[in-house]
Chains A and B, each alone.
Chain A
């Protein structure tokens, strides 16, 4: 074996939440693991909304709240349904220990996680791109980087949404424009006290906005806003097929969203600190690739593990990484790296919320896709026009106004379209709740 000097037990490609969680799980069990990250540091090539959830994070880092770089603790979720120039916002506020989440900055938080992994014994190799996988006798045996080849008993791919490597060895077919959302984000600096005043929070409390409509009216897309300590992250993600079909520039949509009367006052006098872009896997359950084979497992975004209904991605990444790590540990104990052995990873996923939730929403995208102009266009506008009617005092008798509004529902569009919406809604609800 000429390659013994470059041989380790596990190689993890990608130092994001999935890769780090996998690597640290392996290292804690006492095996040798090399984590390869292409960026200058973990998080430097990564972008998300975003917030992390405390419970799943504790499964990997039990005491993370003591030392991790956290921005703000979420106490309020707001759902903003925006029309062209108006908006209806529903807020839910509760200070709870039950469902904690924190806004974080990937460049700081992932870097912290990577440092924790190093402390646990993970060998972290940064600024290195894996270009190929080494295949021998039907087994993945290692990776090829720009500089040299490294061998391992198991290779775990946590190389993100684009996962060129999963595609390369045929575990994943190429992504289509409808399988991903293109997201653009801006981090806007504002003084801490200004953020606290504008979002009605104190200390390290924070707030999350999910934004429907506005510049994305009628499109398969959503906006988001997160409060950080001294900045606000605002962005949106629109299905790539929608952008290509309509010929839209994503940053123009974001600029338009930022100038919406519901949003603009929140950002006023802020200074742009950083602009970024990233793809979000949106294909869901139906687009999950083959996630294991001889000597290899795939986790996180590379495996399309994103629950777009609930804005969950980092938690799915971390827990799938942990499962891959646990599976690697069992496989190393038995010195068996076959597909058969690694199917344990799929079993773990199958029995967890990850596959269960993805399956629950398996028809979400296809259900909405054909009716985005209705569900994300017509109805948000209609809700706002109802609110406008409701709050307007103009000496017209209320019953007349109600009747006019109800009539408009039947005259705005064809009755058949109403029926189609209703049917699509029922089908979707059925698929989520029953089967």
Chain B
């Protein structure tokens, strides 16, 4: 790769984003539905890699503090059960270069 020597990893990208994380998640999956969800599409399309499927625990892990608040997961959610709110007014992402 010519560019940067190698492709930036997602972590490197997220490292450039300024956040004020809340203590409580604004993203609330309904785990019973996640368990039966076939595509687990949120683990793929989320631009911040917020969702990870823990196969052992049969649980969707939500790294909500990385959320860019785009809303794609809510719309893409196969079972339409993802609880999605904006973070509280003082919390969440703060874009400086949007």
Contacts and interface: CB of A to CB of B under 8 A. Distances in A.
A129 B89 contact: yes
Given A44-B95, A258-B3, A249 B45 contact: yes
Interface string B6-41: 011010111011000000000000000000000101
Contact of A47 (B10, B74, B95): B95
A44 to B, nearest CB: 5
A149 interface: no
B3 A259 contact: yes
B62 interface: no
Contact of B95 (A106, A182, A248, A250): A106
Interface core residue of A105, A187, A247, A275 (most chain B CB under 10 Å): A275
A131 B86 CA distance: 9
Contacts of A48: 98
Contact of B41 (A44, A247, A261): A247
A107 B74 contact: no
A382 to B, nearest CB: 26
A385 interface: no
Interface residues of A, number: 59
A39 B95 CA distance: 9
A107 B95 contact: yes
Specify the main secondary structure of chain B where it touches its partner: loop
Nearest to A243: B45
Interface string B53-70: 000000000000000111
A87 to B, nearest CB: 15
B44 A47 contact: no
A40 B13 CA distance: 22
B89 A275 contact: no
A46 B93 CA distance: 10
A174 B81 CA distance: 13
A184 B70 CA distance: 10
A388 to B, nearest CB: 21
Given A38-B86, A45-B69, A248 B45 contact: yes
Contact of A274 (B1, B16, B85): B16
B94 A264 contact: no
Contact of B97 (A105, A131, A146, A179): A105
Given A177-B75, A272-B8, A278 B98 contact: yes
Which residue of B1, B71, B88 has the most chain A CB atoms within 10 A of its CB atom? B71
A249 B17 contact: no
A240 interface: yes
A44 B94 contact: yes
B16 A251 contact: no
Contacts of B86: 38, 129, 164
Contacts of A258: 3, 7
Interface in B71-93: 71-72, 74-76, 80, 85-90, 92-93
Which of B70, B89, B98 has the most chain A CB atoms closer than 10 A to its own CB?
A: B98
A279 B93 contact: no
Given A240-B75, A264-B2, A44 B16 contact: no
B16 A273 contact: yes
A193 interface: no
Given A129-B87, A247-B44, A268-B2, 11 more contacts: A44-B96, A44-B98, A45-B98, A48-B98, A182-B70, A240-B72, A247-B39, A249-B44, A249-B47, A272-B8, A279-B71
4 tightest Cβ-Cβ pairs between the two chains A and B: A275-B13, A277-B47, A106-B98, A47-B98
18 contacts: A45-B98, A47-B98, A128-B89, A131-B85, A146-B88, A164-B86, A174-B80, A180-B72, A182-B47, A248-B45, A249-B45, A255-B7, A258-B7, A264-B3, A272-B8, A274-B96, A277-B47, A277-B48
Interface of B: 1-3, 7-8, 10, 12-14, 16-17, 39, 41, 44-45, 47-49, 68-72, 74-76, 80, 85-90, 92-98
Interface of A: 38-40, 43-48, 105-107, 126-129, 131, 145-146, 161-162, 164, 174-177, 179-180, 182, 184-187, 231, 233, 240, 243-244, 247-251, 255, 258-259, 261, 264-265, 267-268, 272-279
